[in-house]
Structure 1
Amino acid sequence: MPQRRIGAFEVSAIGLGCMNLSHAYGAPVSAEQGERVLLAALDAGVTLFDTAALYGFGANESLVGRVLKAHRSRITLCSKGGMTGQPVGPGGALQRVIDGRPASIRRDVEASLQRLGTDVIDLYYLHRWDKQVPIEDSVGEMARLQAEGKLRALGLSEVSTATLRRAHAVAPMAALQSEYSLWSRNAELGTLAACSELGIAYVAFSPVARAYLTGTLRDVSGFDAKDIRRAMPRFTPGNYANNLKLLDGHAELAREAGCTPAQLAMAWLLHRGPHVLPIPGTTSVEHLHENLGAASVRLSADLIARLDALFAPQAIHGARYNATNSAEVDTEAFAEGSAPGA
């Protein structure tokens, strides 16, 4: 497995996003299947494992911690806080809450350390910037926890170039994690270049566009009631029908490159710069190995240019998030009218 750098860490160029095992796309897989995927990734040379307090309201951290504890020295363990499940209302049911106050950040870190079964988290992200709290305050508390030896490196998720620079002025950011793929190219509006300039790794989640770029997701009418894609405009039947029209061209370019469509999508990301690291998620050992095969795919400049043109932002129908979720992120967006997929 080729290696890339995140701060002081040398890690596998392709990591594993662990969310799918416990969260987001319907009912989670069994603990046994989750363990199989995690250990298969480890055996295949993956050393970058990414989880969060939010995923399964702590269940994902507990799974990752239990399975990988015996291999702790071999991996770079990443988690996120500032967006967690908190009891809300009379029944006390857990709901997703964004809370970046310093005391809440400290509470989240302590809880994550317990679930992960470790005394230090290698890379800890602010999962979402709480816009009610200055980014300097949230990052300042993360820096204090780092000084106490509870965190080794710090990162942010889904923030703009301006917010990234503000945070980096308070404490060095090792990584920015945001959605980046052929159909979500907001990174190219500033943060990708800023990360290169500042020596910050760009960790790309959803590198195969939540299964769209695998070419296997043709019908979006059967999503589970808890599948988060149900609320995403790009996956509404009308928008998705238009987005499907791009996949034949994508499949043809994959054949030309001698790889699968999923591998082509991740190889494209790896070619965006040495600071870019995709973290695909999967519940299947077979798909895991397919994803990791992208590390050996080489793309010509001409093929990359044709991919860029095929998936130009104005060709994508539907926004990344609905209005509520869009308001929760701080990423740059394409100007209204220039791209339907802002």
Structure 2
Amino acid sequence: MTSPSFPAARAPRPGGAGELAGRTVARVGYGAMQLERLHDDRSAAVALLRHAIDFGVDHVDTAQFYGDGFVNEIIRAALRPEDDVLVVSKVGAVSDPGGPFPLRLAQRPADLRASVEDNLATLGLEQIPVVNLRRTDSGISVPVPDDQVVGLDDQLAELIALREEGKIGTIGLSSVTADILRRALPAGIVCVQNAYSLVARDDEDVLRLCEAEQIAWVPYFPLGGALPGLAKVADEPAVLAAAERLGCTPAQVGLAWLLHRSPRTLLIPGTADTGHLEANLAAGAITLDEQTLAALDAVPTRPFTPPFRFRAGA
């Protein structure tokens, strides 16, 4: 007689437990954008995502415009129903491989709906649990044509309609100011993704509003240096000193600082390298003492200036 088989116990949540869209999730998840770098090796991309799940990742951030659907297809191939992974996607831009930039904005309500439908198709889902509206109010953006200057109310009305239809579960925002977030609160915002790191803390007011409203704060570009000329967390003397003292990498210090900064913080660091993946997840276990935190908090913030001039919608 054979013994019954049971599924393996889930790994501890990296960084401990956080909350997103009414669910308990790991405070360190996975940002899937970098899977595009494995475009020529689909099996490696699937294996990397499976590795993240094996290490306790239970929320994944994606978008249809990551690799023009490739990343969503990898997520569809890698995830299993029993994984119970929360998938977060975003709308507001589409791939433009032949254009002057790899993306072009798609901010109009009809564009948002089309992007949701595309995400559903490539992810193989009936509902996307969280959809972030990627606006152009702060952070990095491609140039904004006049026909893509769209009012917030019109955009939220379309997303609310999609939620009522069951195509999306909840609504988040990305690249927004505190004023835009306040205006959007009646729509039931569950998370905000803004560019934010130890060296780029312009959106401290948005973070504090998220704390007050119990909204998840999900910083992108968490280590700075996303584009040439932008400050990098790993270059800071205080970060290097902390890494040496703690026996970890400067990148891990930068991620650990974000987790210590606010209990509402969830991280979605991305990588296409297994070693870097494991290091990112391990950052959730790093404790920063008061002296180290004080030294890191004293690092000056640099303005996070977009590389292009743009107009923001009303």
> Paired residue for 1:155?
172
State the Cα deviation string for residues 150-196 of structure 1 (Å, max 9, x = none). Answer: 11111010100001111123x110000112211221221x1000101
> How far apart are the structure 2 equivalents of 1:5 and 1:244?
26
Structure 1 residue 10 corresponds to structure 2 residue 24: yes
Q: Which of 187, 197, 209 in structure 2 is aligned with 1:194?
A: 209
> How far apart are the structure 2 equivalents of 1:145 and 1:178?
23
Structure 1 residue 100 corresponds to structure 2 residue 79: no
> Paired residue for 2:90?
80
> How far 1:29 sits from its partner (Å)?
5.9
Q: Which of 166, 189, 197 in structure 2 is aligned with 1:181?
A: 197
> Paired residue for 2:33?
19
> How far 1:73 sits from its partner (Å)?
5.2
Alpha-carbon distance change, 208 to 41 in structure 1, aligned in 2, over 3 angstroms: same
Runs of 4+ that moved beyond 6 A: none
Q: Which of 209, 231, 238 in structure 2 is aligned with 1:249?
A: 238
- The residue type paired with residue 276 of structure 2 is H
Partner SS state of residue 207, structure 1:
coil
> How far apart are the structure 2 equivalents of 1:182 and 1:28?
31
Structure 1 residue 277 corresponds to structure 2 residue 266: yes
Partner SS state of residue 163, structure 1:
helix
> How far 1:277 sits from its partner (Å)?
0.8
Alpha-carbon distance change, 111 to 94 in structure 1, aligned in 2, over 3 angstroms: farther
Structure 1 stretches lacking a partner, 5+ long: 211-227, 235-239, 331-342
> How far apart are the structure 2 equivalents of 1:246 and 1:34?
29
Residues 1-342 of structure 1 aligned to structure 2 (within 5 Å): 1=13, 2-22=16-36, 28=39, 30-68=41-79, 70-71=80-81, 74-86=84-96, 96-129=103-136, 132-169=149-186, 171-188=187-204, 190-210=205-225, 229=227, 232-234=228-230, 246-309=235-298, 311-313=299-301, 316=302, 319-324=304-309, 327=310
Alpha-carbon distance change, 56 to 244 in structure 1, aligned in 2, over 3 angstroms: closer
> How far 1:245 sits from its partner (Å)?
9.5
State the Cα deviation string for residues 100-135 of structure 1 (Å, max 9, x = none). Answer: 211111111011100001111111011224761111
> How far apart are the structure 2 equivalents of 1:55 and 1:49?
13
Partner SS state of residue 164, structure 1:
helix
- The residue type paired with residue 300 of structure 2 is A
> How far apart are the structure 1 equivalents of 2:168 and 2:286?
34
Q: Answer with 30-39 or 107-116: which moved more.
A: 30-39
State the Cα deviation string for residues 187-224 of structure 1 (Å, max 9, x = none). Answer: 21x100010111111011222225xxxxxxxxxxxxxx
Partner SS state of residue 159, structure 1:
coil
CA contact (8 A) 1:180 1:206 kept: yes
> How far apart are the structure 2 equivalents of 1:136 and 1:293?
40
> How far 1:30 sits from its partner (Å)?
2.3
TM-score, length of structure 2 as denominator length: 0.84
Superposition RMSD on alpha carbons, in Å?
2.5
Structure 2 stretches lacking a partner, 5+ long: 1-12, 137-143
